[in-house]
Homo-oligomer: A and B are copies of this chain.
Amino acid sequence: MQTINPYEVKGEIDYKKVVSDFGLKQISDQTLERFEKLANGSYYAMRRGIYFAERDLNWLMDQYEKGNKFYVYTGIAPSGGMHIGQTMQFQIAKWLQDRFDAEVLIMIPDEEKFLVKKNPAFTLENGHTLAMEDALDIAALGFDSRKTKIFLDTEYAKTLYKQAVRVSKYVTYSIIKDALGFGNDTNIGALFYTSFQAVPAFLKSVQAGKNIPCLIPMGVDQDVHFRIARNAIAKMGYYKPASLVSTFMPGLSMNPKMSASDPNNTIYLSDDEATVAKKVNKAITGQQDTLELQKKYGGNPDKCAVCQYYKYMFEPDDRKLAEILEGERKGTLLAGEHKKDLAMRINHFLKEHRTMKRKIEGKLEDFMLRD
């Protein structure tokens, strides 16, 4: 049994089953080829099937070819310091911005965790503080402030609430209950919240007074929000948003989804070099229990967090990645070296990110949208 929704990911995940259960479309070779042609470039995470599914991507490309440019919408619910897995959607958003000259809208729902989590540490005040930290972390990933807008729900609520109300009219309790795993004891703010998350998927159309296509890169756990949203948005007369749907970047112990609430298995953007080295050193690999067995049988890259981290984020070169995976498989790659190299790459990424943050800190306001 697999449970995948924004508030719970449980069980072994079978992404093929997800595609059919959710009514997604697997990204075909033809679709990928067409997309890369239009992008005039190739994105490693799409090539590697990390983005494994889509909705309406060919329709979006039809629109683009007709001259109807799309904007990109993505976001993050602040939960206490971003981890590297959470940068995935922003990294592809930036790539899309560069390749398609796309505007990027980034929602930071600073109320979401407060509404859906029982943990009293998730106060609204804390949500706001964390949201502003996330905003800086996101902006520092290299976005162009002229084409990128970031907003917090509580600060942009005058704009958002009115549109969320329109969405909510089409979403009944029974729809939300089944889709999000809610019930009698769910609070009414959590029930309403999906209406808010839907708004940026058509907000540009409202503001422009004409339909503008929207593309949403997202982790597959968010798909259910947008399945609901797509129905409502179509009834409101706007284009349904297209989407690019990714698998989860695993935790260091190969738990299926890196989680901010599991610090030992998670690399935070704020981790220092020693912490990263220590955490990576404890990562699960796909190797055998002894050096002897490892040399004899080799390892399994699919069960190796180190290999997966190269694949998801830290080895952009496909040929080099293939060598790493092959080395793991054949047992020629030794765990110690393997981990040391990954830690170095992660630390390199984090160091650059810290530098960007310092650079951009005074300019964060250029990105922010407020009512």
Give residues in A with beta carbon < 8 Å to B: 111, 114-115, 124, 153-158, 160-162, 164-174, 176-177, 182-192, 194-195, 371
A interface secondary structure, majority: helix
A231 CB to closest chain B CB, in angstroms?
13
Contact status B161-A188, CB under 8 Å: no
Inter-chain contacts of A161 with B (CB < 8 A): 153-154, 157, 160-161
Contact status B165-A124, CB under 8 Å: yes
A31 CB to closest chain B CB, in angstroms?
34
A25 to B1, CA, bound (A): 53
Inter-chain contacts of A124 with B (CB < 8 A): 162, 165-166
Contact status A176-B162, CB under 8 Å: no
Using A154-B162, A157-B158 as known contacts, list a sample of 8 further A-B pairs with CB atoms less than 8 Å apart, ordered by residue number in A.
Answer: A114-B169, A124-B162, A154-B158, A170-B187, A172-B184, A172-B186, A174-B185, A188-B195
Inter-chain contacts of A154 with B (CB < 8 A): 158, 161-162, 165
Inter-chain contacts of A114 with B (CB < 8 A): 165, 169
Known: A191-B192, A194-B188. A115 touches B168 (CB 8 A): yes
The CB with the most chain B CB atoms within 10 A, among A169, A183, A194, A195, is that of A169
Contact status A186-B166, CB under 8 Å: no
Inter-chain contacts of A172 with B (CB < 8 A): 184-188
A to B CB contacts below 8 Å, 9 in the list: A111-B162, A111-B165, A154-B158, A158-B158, A160-B161, A168-B192, A171-B189, A173-B173, A173-B185
Contact status A188-B187, CB under 8 Å: no
Inter-chain contacts of A371 with B (CB < 8 A): 158, 371
The CB with the most chain B CB atoms within 10 A, among A155, A185, A191, is that of A191
A175 (CB) vs chain B CBs: closest residue? B188
Contact status A189-B195, CB under 8 Å: yes
A170 to B164, CA, bound (A): 21
